Structure formats: C-alpha cells, structure tokens
Structure 1
C-alpha cells in the first residue's frame, strides 16, 4: 500500500535533513545549483475599461445556419441513400437569386453534366460525398462539396438526418485548398494573400445549437515565403483520406 499523504511529507522532510547533513560533510560537491532569476508572470492588460460592451454583433457571419432541404427524401432514414447531386440541385432551385442570370448561372448549367459518363461528366461541379458521424449520434452525416463560379470557389456543406428529413447543419464557400474531417469537426484550408501563410477554419458540432459552429479562424504559416508561390484560388477541395466514403 502506498504511504498516505502525511507519511510522504514526513519522509520527504527526513530525506531533506539527511541531504543537508551529507552536503555539509562533503562540501559543495553534488549540491543544488541556482537556475537564475525566475521571470515575473505578466497578466494581460485590459484596454479601454470604460468602453461600453457591445450587446449584439455588428456583422452576421452565419454562425448558426440550419435548414431542412426541401424536395429531397431520405429513404429509410439512411443518409447514404441520398443523392448528392439531387441535394445540390435542390439548393440551386431554392435560391434562384444566387444561381439565376449572372456568373453563378454557369454552375447551374454545369449540373446538367452530372450523371453523364466520359468527358461530358467531368463538367459536373459536384464532388464526391464523404460520410462520418460528426454529430455524435452514432449515425453517419454527409459532407459534400461542389465548385461554384466565378472565382473558383468551392462550396462545403454538411447534412444530417432528423425525423427522416435531410437537414443542412453547415454551409461555407471559399477558394478552398483543402478540407479535412477530424472528430466532430470540419477543417477548411484556404490560401492567404500573404505568401507562406494560409487560413484555417474549423467548424465543430455543437449539441446545444444543433449545428456546426465556427470555433477556430486563424492564419498559420505553412512555409518559407521566399519559396512559396503567390497564393491563388484552387478549383478543387482535397477531402481527408481518413473519411469513409460509400
């Protein structure tokens, strides 16, 4: 049985006394050496303490965006049976203002190539869907992406199933250079205008909001700016190979 806390303290005191006695008998050989002055801990300085705290956000960045996808069924409540192309078509149909006459209309026109084989099918903007339990309910959710024009943007969406209905729990688009799934998070990498750096955004499932929330937004160094080419918009996403597909 290990010694109790009072016993360990007594043993430590006795050991310290023996060490002091041995040091006095043998001079300074083997004695403890000072490591120098310890830096003083500095607490953060609070700026403008008289500033009136804001009570509402100045800009809406879509922290919580969930919506039922209309016109798409979930056979047997199994998200694997949902057609990703049908999901993207439903989004385009639900937002005619976004995909109507104009630059984004090209994306809508390219949807006609989906399902075709050979060279014609390569024009389909919908990327491969990936399946993983991101909400922690023991069932797979669906992460899909599709290319948007102009700007070579990639739209990233996450869907779950509630009461046999398909629900979008995350939506984001950017000039994406990579997408990863880790735990209950979606990590999106995007090129920065600063050479040698990239943006990394992490969206994580929040049980209280029942949505994916933007929990991290940072700029990170990825290499030597003298060797890194100027960042540019990437036309495709690179989903993590660890995600399970079907």
Structure 2
C-alpha cells in the first residue's frame, strides 16, 4: 500500500518526488566531482599536478655596457704554470711511479733549486736542510707520507707529496709519469686545515679569517696544459670548523 504523502508546511520547500530527488543528487555529485578536479588540478588519477606559475627565464643583463673593460693583466700569471721534468731522476721502469723513491724526488728538486725561497720551488732554509738528509726512517723528516692516486685519468696512479714548513705552511706537489719520465704537474704552498682527494680532484681546505667559514680550493688536471690547475676557489660556511656545509659565495 503506498505511503501517504507528508503534508506540506507553509514556508518550507516542498519535497521532491523520488525520481526527481535521484536526478538532483546525481547533479550534486557531478558538480562535486568537477569542483574536486578543479581544486586538485587533476582530472584523473595519475595525471601531473600543476606547480603553479614559473618565473620566466632571463639572460644576464649587463650593467654599464658603455664603460671600458679592464685591460688584460700583464706579467707572470698563475696560468703560465706547466708540467716540469724532475731533474736528476732516471727513466721510470715500466712507467710505474710506485717504483720511484719519493725521498729521492724531493732531494733532486732541492739540489736543483737549493737557494729558491719563493716560487714553485721555494723552501725556507731550515726545511731545505732537513730534506737533504730525509729518509723514511728519519723521524725529523718534514715530508709527509706519500699518497698515490690517479689524478690525470690515464688509469695509473700519480704521486702526491706534502712538505711541512714553518707556521703550518705546506708545500704541495704532484707528479706523474710521461714517456718514461717523472713530471711534476703541480707545485704550490698552502696553509691547510685539511687536504682531500675526491675522484681526480685535489681539494685543499684553509681556515678563513671569518669565523665558521673556510676557503675551499679545488685543483684538477688540465689535459691541454698538462697541469693540475686551480678550478675553483670559494668560501664555504662550516659547522664548528668542519668542512661539510654548502658554499655561501665565491671569491
């Protein structure tokens, strides 16, 4: 027996018949689905979501283009450095640098540049005198333990040596073998807090005069010049004196 219709109260919305209520509910559900799609930015599952508007790419805009640029520096530059055969060292057997005595290498260089106090071969007199009698057994030898690593990328290890000098300075030198000859491919003086090898890069960390910052210098093999060239020199934020944070700016 059909249920009697409810009486309509004045001022209220009259109820819809059942078929009309179903059609009205379907329209509401459809509108809700469209609203959800508009909010999420995605019509179906699996489609990409919009990340919003992207700032337009722009080329660098030069400032004061009418001003004359600075002239190219003259005189001796760091870029003039190049590989140098080590004097007094015989041919390297089988091109294996491990068969070269590191102490003989340093002694040969000191003998060839005994009185150089500046430049790539510069050493203070006290350090040079100690190197003359340096050996693996000599405890007062300023030469740090030699390190072998492939810096040039030819699949063979190269030689890295550090010479300790006064006031925490370090003479940093690297060598490779080319055509059976021992070649020096880097020579510089640094004042490091640490020295690292990362792949084929030689990384030197030096303390900065600014607290919680350090200078990070990266040397890499330049096949054209055949030398370990300074690739980057930047100041990085450090965590309590360690070298673990991201760079803040370059110098």
TM-score by length of 1: 0.70
The offset of 1:201, in angstroms, is 0.8
Say which is worse superposed, 106-115 or 91-100, in terms of deviation. Answer: 91-100
Secondary structure of the residue that 2:142 maps to in structure 1? coil
The offset of 1:203, in angstroms, is 0.9
1:189 match: 205
Mapped pair 1:172 → 2:188: yes
- CA offsets, 1:144-189, max 9 Å, x none? 111123x321011111111221111111111111111122221111
* Structure 1 Cα separation of the partners of residues 62 and 70 of structure 2: 16
TM-score by length of 2: 0.69
- CA offsets, 1:115-146, max 9 Å, x none? 264xxx32201111111221122221111111
2:106 match: 88
Mapped pair 1:153 → 2:169: yes
Q: 2:116 aligns with which of 89, 98, 118?
A: 98
* Structure 2 Cα separation of the partners of residues 23 and 129 of structure 1: 76
- CA offsets, 1:90-117, max 9 Å, x none? 22222233259x9810101222552264
1:99–1:107 Cα contact (<8 Å) kept: no
1:113–1:123 Cα contact (<8 Å) kept: no
* Structure 2 Cα separation of the partners of residues 112 and 180 of structure 1: 27
The offset of 1:50, in angstroms, is 2.8
**Structure 1 residues 189 and 74: alpha-carbon distance in aligned structure 2, compared to 1, 3 A threshold:** farther
1:65 match: 82
* RMSD after superposition: 3.0
Q: 1:107 aligns with which of 99, 124, 127?
A: 127
1:74–1:82 Cα contact (<8 Å) kept: no
Gaps (5+ residues) in structure 1?
1-21, 230-246
Gaps (5+ residues) in structure 2?
1-28, 42-49, 243-251
Larger radius of gyration: 2
Please show how residues 5-154 of structure 1 align to structure 2 within 5 Å.
26-31=33-38, 32=40, 38-41=54-57, 43-53=59-69, 56-58=72-74, 60-63=76-79, 64-76=81-93, 77-99=95-117, 104-112=124-132, 114-115=134-135, 117=137, 121-149=138-166, 151-154=167-170
* Structure 2 Cα separation of the partners of residues 103 and 214 of structure 1: 21
Alignment length, in residue pairs?
200
1:92–1:99 Cα contact (<8 Å) kept: no
